[in-house]
Amino acid sequence: MDVTPPSFHELLEANKLIDLNAELVVEEKSIKVHRGFLTSISPVFSAMFSQPTTEAKTGKVVITDMTYNTVKLSLDFCAGKHLSTKSPVDWVGVYTFADKYDIAAVREKLGKCFNTAKITRETFAVYTLYAFQFSNNKLIDRCAKFLAYNPDVVLLSEFQKIGKDVIVAVLAKASAAYCNKPSSREGSDDEYNSY
């Protein structure tokens, strides 16, 4: 008999008697969790709950720099729940949560995904901002190459929102990538229209 074992989130959801002794407060909404879960996935949460802190006394962690959706998706992902979102904004949010709370396994897994993610006109700004924010040089180079072959991306409103420093840096790298562009006999421009 071949039976797939239950995932961690299925075990948690099935145990209605579990004492959810902590809560994450985000955007005035509360997410009930078990401290043991948080401390097992994150050295930051572990330190927070093992020291004489307000969080340790109250069990309450207030998160002001992320959305409720980001924190909920992050916790679900950490518990082994498959994320159904296709939004790169959501994936970057989960990575940001993992980075802030030092959840190395999530950072590693998502980092690999970002390095192979398809860059399109719709995803370019999000991936470029992520790449520069977290110093992902492989993705920075891929974004710059995409821009070199798709210069009209600079006209999109999302591009204008990524910040002057990032814009200058990615334009400089794109210029260098364009100068190293193969001649039309060496390769087709079509292969560079998306990644």
Domain ranges of the chain: 117-195
Distance (Å, rounded) from C-alpha 141 to C-alpha 143? Answer: 5
Return per-residue pLDDT of the chain as tens, 195 residues.
777 777 776 776 666 657 778 999 999 999 999 999 999 999 999 999 999 999 999 999 999 999 999 999 999 999 888 887 788 999 999 999 999 999 999 999 999 988 888 999 999 999 999 999 999 999 999 999 999 999 999 999 999 899 999 999 999 999 988 787 665 544 444 445 555
pLDDT for position 185? 41
pLDDT for position 155? 93
Distance (Å, rounded) from C-alpha 167 to C-alpha 162? Answer: 7
Distance (Å, rounded) from C-alpha 42 to C-alpha 37? Answer: 9
- All residues at 6 or more sequence positions from 146 whose CB lies less than 8 Å from its CB, including other chains: 119, 124, 153, 192, 194, 195
Distance (Å, rounded) from C-alpha 25 to C-alpha 195? Answer: 38
Q: Distance of CA 78 to CAs 20, 38, 51, 147, 151, Å?
A: 16, 9, 23, 33, 38
In a 10 Å sphere around its CB, with 0-12 CB exposed, 13-18 middle and 19+ buried, how is residue 178 labelled? middle
Distance (Å, rounded) from C-alpha 49 to C-alpha 53? Answer: 7
The pTM assigned to this predicted structure is 0.82
Strand 29-33 to strand 22-26: parallel, antiparallel, or no bridges (unpaired)? antiparallel
Minimal CA–CA distance to 141: which of 111, 167, 177? 177
Distance (Å, rounded) from C-alpha 37 to C-alpha 75? Answer: 10
